[in-house]
Amino acid sequence: MHIYDVLVVGAGPIGLATALGLRQRGIENILVIDQTRAFRQVGQVIDLLPNGLNALKYIDLKAYEEVKKKGMSFLSSTPSNDNANQTTQKPKSPKTSPEWVQKNFKGERIRATPLSYDHWFQQYGEGRVSIAWYDLQTILRNLLPEDSVKANHRCINVVYEPEYKCVRVDCVSHLGGEQNPYAHWENAQNHENAQPENLEIISQQSETKSFRAKLVVAADGINSTVRRILYKNTPYQAFARPEYSGFAAVGCQGISEVSNKLLTELNEKFFENSRIVTIFNDEISRDSDCMKQVWMMLFQRKGGQLGYIIHLALPLDSLKHKSGTALIDLALLSLEKANFPTCLKQLVSLSPPANMLQRPYYIHRAMISDRLQFPSTANLNLDTHPLEMQPAWKAQRVVLVGDAAHGMPPFMAQGANQGFEDALAIATLIANIKDKHDWDNTQAISEAFDKYEHLRRPFMVDIQKATLERLYWSDKEWQDYSQKLYRRNFNKLLETLQ
Ligand SMILES: Cc1cc2nc3c(=O)[nH]c(=O)nc-3n(C[C@H](O)[C@H](O)[C@H](O)COP(=O)(O)OP(=O)(O)OC[C@H]3O[C@@H](n4cnc5c(N)ncnc54)[C@H](O)[C@@H]3O)c2cc1C
C-alpha cells in the first residue's frame, strides 16, 4: 500500500502551486488529482497582482518567471484597434499604453489603472500580468513530473484512517458529464444542457480507485467536494455548498452590427483611448437601493466587435434557465432601473442572443458574522450556531486552500492571488512537519494547520468584505487597500511560520 506524503485534490492554479512549493521544499512523494477527464482549454483570463506574483516567486522561482513571461506577452498580444483592415465604423485605436478606466454615466473619468507590469512594479515593488486560467494551469502543471498529476480522478470521498496514520481519498474515473458552474462561464445554450452535478449519478463505465496520503490538501475550488465531506454532520453543514453572493454577471461576447452613430457616441463618451472601460453610477452610496448596484464593463474585441459584461445584484432565480433573448431583456431592465445612459441600453439591445453569457457569483465566506445579511443562515438555531462562525478549514489530516477555503466573486481580482498566498503558507508549514519528522504527530499537524488559518483567515475576511463593498469606496480607501494588499511582506510572513 503506497502512502503519499501529500495528496493534493484539484489541479487548478492553487493545487499545482502547492505541489510545486512542496517539491521546492524537498517533498517529492506527492500526487495531484483532478476530476477533469483531460486537461483542456477552459476558464477565463485572470489578473495576477503584485501580492500573488510575489507569493508565486517565493513558492517556486521558475514558476514565477514562466508565468510572468507568459503574462507579459498577453498584453502585447491582445487585439489593438490599429488593425489595418479595420473600417471607419469601428472605435478608434488606443494610442497610449493600455489602462483600465472607470467612468461615470456622464463619461467622466473616476479612476484609471495602467495595466503594464512596469507601472505596478514601480508602485509596489512587483508588477501585474494577465494570463488565461488554462495557460497558468499548463505552465504550473508542466513544471511537475508528468506522473505526479493525474487527470480523470474525481475525488468522491475522504476517509481518515488513524490506524494507518493517513487519509484515504476515493476517486472515480470516466465520469460522464462534467460541469463547473462555479469556475467557468456558462452560455445561454449550454446552461440548458448542463449535466446534473450529483455524485450518485456515476456512469456505467466509471471506475473507482483509492489513494492514501499522510496529508491531504484540498484545492478543489469553490464547490469543493472535500469541504462538503468535512462539513457533513457538523455545525458547518449549512456552509458546505458555496452561497450565492447576491451578484451575477450577464454579458455578450460580441456585437458587430453597431451603427456608426452609436459607435461614435460610445467612442467619444466612454472608450476614448481605452480598449476596456468600466461604467457605473458614482453617486450611489452604501444605503442606495441595491438595484442601483450595477456596473458595466465595455470592451472592444478583435476585428472591432464590441462586448460587455454587466454585473448586477439580483436574486439567483431570475437567472435560471434563461434563453439569450431573456438575458438581453433582463440586462435592459437592470440598466433601466439603474438609470444607465441610453447609448449603453441601445448597445445591449443589439446583442445577438446566441452570444449571451451569464454567471451567478458564489462565495464561501471566511467568516459568517451577520445572519441578517446572509439568508442561508437565517433559519439556523442560535444555540448551536454562535453569531460569529468560522467555517473550518481543516479536519485531522486534511486542509482546505484557495477557493475551497474562501472562494469569492472576482471583483477585486484576488481569488488566485490569495490562493497563492495560501499555497506559500501551507507548503512552508508542511515542509516544517517533514523537517521535524512530525508526519505521525497529529498534535504538530493540527498546530500547523491552525497557524495557517490564524494567519490567512483574518486577511481573507477583509478581502471578501472589500470585494462586496468596494463600489462605494473613496480614493483614500482604494489607496489604503492597495498599499496594504500589494505590498505584502512575505519574508515577515515566512518568519511567523517557523
Ligand atoms: C470570471 C472570473 C474572473 C476571475 N478573475 C480573477 C483575477 O483577475 N485574479 C484572480 O486572482 N482571480 C480571479 N478569479 C478567481 C480565480 O479564477 C480563482 O480564485 C482560482 O482559479 C482559484 O484556484 P483554485 O485552484 O483554488 O480553484 P479552481 O481554479 O476552481 O481549480 C479547482 C480544480 O479542482 C478540480 N476539482 C474540482 N472538484 C474536484 C474533485 N472532486 N476531485 C478532483 N478535482 C476536482 C477542478 O477540475 C479544478 O481543476 C476569477 C474568477 C472568475 C470566475
In this prediction, residue 84 has a pLDDT band, given cuts at 50, 70 and 90, of very low
Cell of 136: 497558468
Give the residue, by CA position, lying nearest to ligand 1 atom 38. 220
* Percent of all residues in the chain with a pLDDT value above 70, rounded to a whole number: 83
Q: Ligand 1: which of 34, 182, 361 to mutate, most ligand atoms within 8 Å of CB?
A: 34
Supply the pLDDT for residue 270.
95
Question: How far is Cα 229 from Cα 215, in angstroms, rounded to an integer?
Answer: 16
Q: How far apart are the first and last CA of the chain?
A: 32
Supply the pLDDT for residue 24.
98
- Strand ranges, E, within 282-380: 294-300, 306-313, 356-363
Does residue 83 carry a pLDDT above 50? no
Pair type for strands 207-218 and 398-400: parallel
Crossing angle for the helix pair 50-59 and 13-24, nearest 10 degrees? 40
Pick the atom of ligand 1 nearest to 52's CA. Answer: 11
Q: How many residues make up the chain in this entry?
A: 498
Determine if ligand 1 sits within 6 Å of the CB of residue 348.
no
Average pLDDT (322-339) is: 94
Determine if ligand 1 sits within 6 Å of the CB of residue 44.
yes
Does residue 187 carry a pLDDT above 60? no
Give the residue, by CA position, lying nearest to ligand 1 atom 19. 415
Pick the atom of ligand 1 nearest to 16's CA. Answer: 25
Tell me the CA distances in angstroms from 18 to 9, 308, 346, 457, 480, one per residue in order: 11, 34, 47, 18, 29
Determine if ligand 1 sits within 6 Å of the CB of residue 415.
yes
Q: How far is the CA of 226 from the centre of ligand 1 (A)?
A: 15
Cell of 70: 507568459
Q: How far is the CA of 136 from the centre of ligand 1 (A)?
A: 11
Determine if ligand 1 sits within 6 Å of the CB of residue 46.
yes
**393 CB-near residues (< 8 Å, 6+ apart):** 399, 400, 405, 449, 452, 453, 457
In this prediction, residue 287 has a pLDDT band, given cuts at 50, 70 and 90, of low
Determine if ligand 1 sits within 6 Å of the CB of residue 413.
yes
* Structure-model confidence comparison of residues 433 and 184, the more confident one: 433
Does residue 159 carry a pLDDT above 90? yes
Determine if ligand 1 sits within 6 Å of the CB of residue 251.
no
CA 273 to chain centre: 29
Determine if ligand 1 sits within 6 Å of the CB of residue 135.
no
User: pLDDT (tens digit, 9 = 90+) per residue, 337-374?
Assistant: 999 999 999 999 999 999 999 989 999 999 876 544 44
| Type and span of the H or E element at 336 | helix 324-337
Helices (H), 407-474: 415-435, 442-469
User: pLDDT (tens digit, 9 = 90+) per residue, 415-447?
Assistant: 999 999 999 999 999 999 999 999 999 999 999
Q: Ligand 1: which of 403, 408, 485, 486 to mutate, most ligand atoms within 8 Å of CB?
A: 403
**Is there a contact between 218 and 224 (Cβ–Cβ < 8 Å)?**
yes
Q: How far is the CA of 62 from the centre of ligand 1 (A)?
A: 22
Cell of 432: 516544517
Pick the atom of ligand 1 nearest to 47's CA. Answer: 8
Question: How far is Cα 253 from Cα 255, in angstroms, rounded to an integer?
Answer: 7
Pick the atom of ligand 1 nearest to 416's CA. Answer: 11
For cell 494570463, what's the residue? 131
Beta bridge partners of 181: none
Give the residue, by CA position, lying nearest to ligand 1 atom 53. 183
In this prediction, residue 288 has a pLDDT band, given cuts at 50, 70 and 90, of low
Q: How far is the CA of 12 from the centre of ligand 1 (A)?
A: 6
3-84+124-242+363-497 is a CATH 3.90.950.20 domain? no
Determine if ligand 1 sits within 6 Å of the CB of residue 99.
no
* Percent of all residues in the chain with a pLDDT value above 90, rounded to a whole number: 61
Supply the pLDDT for residue 471.
67
Give the residue, by CA position, lying nearest to ligand 1 atom 49. 12
Determine if ligand 1 sits within 6 Å of the CB of residue 422.
no
Return the domain boundaries, the chain. 3-84+124-242+363-497, 245-362
Determine if ligand 1 sits within 6 Å of the CB of residue 391.
no
Determine if ligand 1 sits within 6 Å of the CB of residue 47.
yes
**DSSP calls for 171-194:** EEES-S----TTTS-EEHHHHHTP
Give the residue, by CA position, lying nearest to ligand 1 atom 11. 416
**DSSP calls for 271-322:** ITT-SEEEEE-TT--TTS-GGG-EEEEEEE-GGG-EEEEEEEE--GGGGTT-
Give the residue, by CA position, lying nearest to ligand 1 atom 51. 410
Tell me which fold the domain 245-362 belongs to. D-Amino Acid Oxidase; Chain A, domain 2 (3.30.9)
Give the residue, by CA position, lying nearest to ligand 1 atom 21. 416
